[in-house]
A and B are shown apart, each in its own frame.
Chain A
Amino acid sequence: MATNVAGTVSSFDCLHKCELLEQETNIVVTRPLAEIQQTGRLGPAGWELIYRAVDSARRFGRYPSPEGYDAWNTDAVTEVAHDFMTADGAEGRLSRLVATATDEDSFSRLVERAIHNHFKMEARKTDRGAALRAIERHLQSDDGIVAAGAGPTRTWALRDHTDQFPYSGDPDDLVAAAYRVADVRPAAWSETSRRRRPLAEAESLKRVLHAILAAAAAPVERGLLLKVVLARFPTAVVPAAEEADEASLPASTPVDDAGIVAKEAWAEMTDNERLVVPFLSEPAREVAQQTGLSRSTAHRACASVTALLQDHLLGVEDRRRVMNELILLSNGVRARGTAIVASASLDSEGEHEAPTPD
């Protein structure tokens, strides 16, 4: 498999090519950064850049389509592009991008990065995020519940159980405990309401959370608590968009428990986590070597995927089988990427001609 990163896409090359093309064809190649610097405004070239950057980001970043769209289409891309440019703070953000850019290529990179950040910020507004925030609000206002830690490892426990190790039992036991709570009332909500469907009315939700934590008799981690609550209230959340690569997974994807657990874990992983899965037993230096990530990023990716897998592997007997499935997925997707580029290379031979320098 590939090891070190090699080669660069030079910013100098891209701008040089634009200049050469202008010289050869007498056609003015409109450049977004130059357009802004000349006019003080984002114009047609800039909008085109942002549209393409949003389209590329949704394609390679695996972001779900925006609310109101079942799948990505050109209207959805346009809507996100407009949101990016009209959201609170957008003008200042674009000013910073212009101020930081040194040429067209650097401006394009900076815009892409900003768009990825925009997607991540928007993801926090999804139903799952809303559900987690609702849970956290209830927990924080409950004096009988104690929080510890932060981020993905944050836990909540009843006061009598704070000195226990985090819950590592069967999540289904907690779901069952949640269902045993009687007289759970839904919150007042109308399908025509613009608000998301709440999990339940406040007092009912409080009793359900208490029941879950009492059944655990231990601190429960954030991700697990969200999973249990969503299992108890399945209609409160719209599922994320289907993975684009599911249909093209290796043919040996099994339809059994290990395969299902692996696919669920895979779906939750970030790109870096997916990348490091085959190398979890290696030192960070070696992981960095094998993946092209920096050592610190590789270390963090390994730590976070290990934490994620601890959650998913709870109660799973054949953990080795799950790990093998995940390694197969990781290697398979990388191989697919390599094959796509190789195919594109064959297709492009003789078709594309670079502008010839003077």
Chain B
Amino acid sequence: MRHLHPTDTTLAAVVDGTLDAASFEVARRHIEECGRCQLRIGQAGPPLEREPSETATGVAVAMAVGEVRDDDPSRGDIWRLAWDDLSLLAVVWQAGDRDDLTVLPVVEECDADEWCVLFSPSETGGLGYFAVSVALEATVPWPVLDARVGRVTTTESLSDLRSEYVSGSPVGLVPRGNRVRSELDERTDVLDEVRDMLEQLSGVAWAPAAVALTAASTSSVDVLFEVLPPEEALAISRGAPLTDSQATLVEEATGTPAATPPLSPEIVRLLESPTRKHKIRARARRSGRSEASERRELAHSLHLGVAARQAGDAGIDYGVILDEILDG
């Protein structure tokens, strides 16, 4: 994933000495190797004196902030896509049944080029003015879907502009951004950044490449028992996927990537559903793991949970067990 610069507020806290030690150290290491942040600090203006009792105030501003996770995505939906530190809004263009999705990113109106359809507030369900790029169309996997935050009232203009982009033939009047006529246009920086984010989201993959533990790989099983606690090794030999830490231990011991059993499609589906994503992200936050790593941990825990119940239990509901783990 991309590396983020400290925010200006963080830079101010670094310079003014108001950041806690751990956060300061993280920021300091970044600044040490980042010319852009060094420059910003070096030319920064002075802080302003503010009275201790002075707090910012203003009229409370109401806004539409609904989020839906239970519905499957469909054309015209506006979804938040998220993975680790990345997030952006996109309009769903095509959604199959658990196949990859095709999405069109939302950009600010001021950054819209000629391949962006402009939407007015009456068309965006409370999300104000924005633009949607047909040129930056991307295919993303289901795990990056976070929440549906709205819908555009019409996709006709998107369809028209998309057709023009693909065929080169104008199809009619579409409210669109201004043409970029020079590489020095500052919109190109922003649109490039959106393209980069979509590329990263498109490349998201968390399920480990499955290598079945077969009789031919008995030696791998022996290694498991040498490197891991017996109960963990036993679980893996019976089909539980490896967690990242387990895989690291095995790889360090053998010098080769650890073999891991394939994940069942049902487990993959459960762990990729938007309905649980926010809980998975919260767990990842608490544990300091990435979303991918957290999902692999959960796959392992889910397998253990299922195995613990199989003796005598009929009709195991993986979803119920997973929810127990997430709520536990």
A residues bordering B, Cβ < 8 Å? 1-17, 36-37, 39-44, 47-48, 50-53, 55-62, 72-74, 77-78, 81-82, 85-86, 89-96, 98-103, 106, 108-109, 112, 117, 121, 149-153, 243-245, 271-272, 274-275, 290-294, 296-297, 299-300, 303-304, 307, 330, 332-338, 340-341, 344-345, 347-348, 351-355
Contact = CB atoms under 8 A, between A and B. Distances in A.
B184 A152 contact: yes
Contact of B35 (A2, A53, A341): A2
Contact of A95 (B28, B48, B126, B185): B126
Interface string B1-32: 00111111111101111011111101111111
B26 A36 contact: no
A16 to B, nearest CB: 6
A335 B65 CA distance: 44
Contact of B61 (A37, A42, A333, A335): A42
Contacts of B88: 100
Given A12-B284, A102-B82, A341-B41, A95 B146 contact: no
Interface of B: 3-12, 14-17, 19-24, 26-50, 54-65, 67, 78, 80, 82, 85, 87-89, 106, 108, 110, 121, 124, 126-130, 146, 149-150, 179, 181-185, 188-189, 192, 196, 281, 284-286, 288
Nearest to A90: B61
B30 A108 contact: no
Identify which of A5, A52, A117, A351 gathers the most chain B CB atoms within 10 Å of its CB: A5
B24 A337 contact: no
A348 B21 contact: yes
B63 A40 contact: yes
Q: Which 3 A/B pairs are nearest by Cβ-Cβ distance?
A: A92-B128, A337-B42, A150-B181
A293 to B, nearest CB: 7
B126 A9 contact: no
Contact of A7 (B29, B44, B57, B65): B29
A51 to B, nearest CB: 4
A41 B65 CA distance: 9
A348 B24 contact: yes
Given A8-B85, A352-B20, A95 B127 contact: yes
Contact of B65 (A77, A82, A99, A332): A99
B46 A292 contact: no
A56 B56 contact: no
A12 to B, nearest CB: 4
B110 A100 contact: no
B33 A92 contact: no
B4 A8 contact: yes
Contacts of A90: 61
Contacts of A335: 38, 42
Contacts of B184: 151-153, 300, 303-304, 307
B315 to A, nearest CB: 35
Contact of B36 (A100, A102, A292): A292
Contacts of B286: 16
Identify which of A6, A58, A101 gathers the most chain B CB atoms within 10 Å of its CB: A6
Given A40-B62, A245-B43, A341-B28, A108 B9 contact: yes
Contacts of B54: 74
Nearest to A339: B42
B24 to A, nearest CB: 6
Contacts of B6: 9
Contacts of A40: 62-63, 65
7 contacts: A7-B29, A59-B12, A91-B61, A91-B62, A95-B127, A108-B7, A337-B38
Contact of B11 (A56, A91, A272, A292): A56
B44 A9 contact: no
A304 to B, nearest CB: 5
B83 to A, nearest CB: 9
A102 B281 contact: yes
A44 to B, nearest CB: 7
B34 A99 contact: no
B44 A59 contact: yes
Nearest to A355: B20
A41 B49 CA distance: 29
Identify which of B12, B35, B87 gathers the most chain A CB atoms within 10 Å of its CB: B35
A66 to B, nearest CB: 14
B50 A292 contact: no
A100 B14 CA distance: 27
Given A8-B3, A99-B149, A60 B44 contact: yes
B106 to A, nearest CB: 8
A98 B63 contact: yes
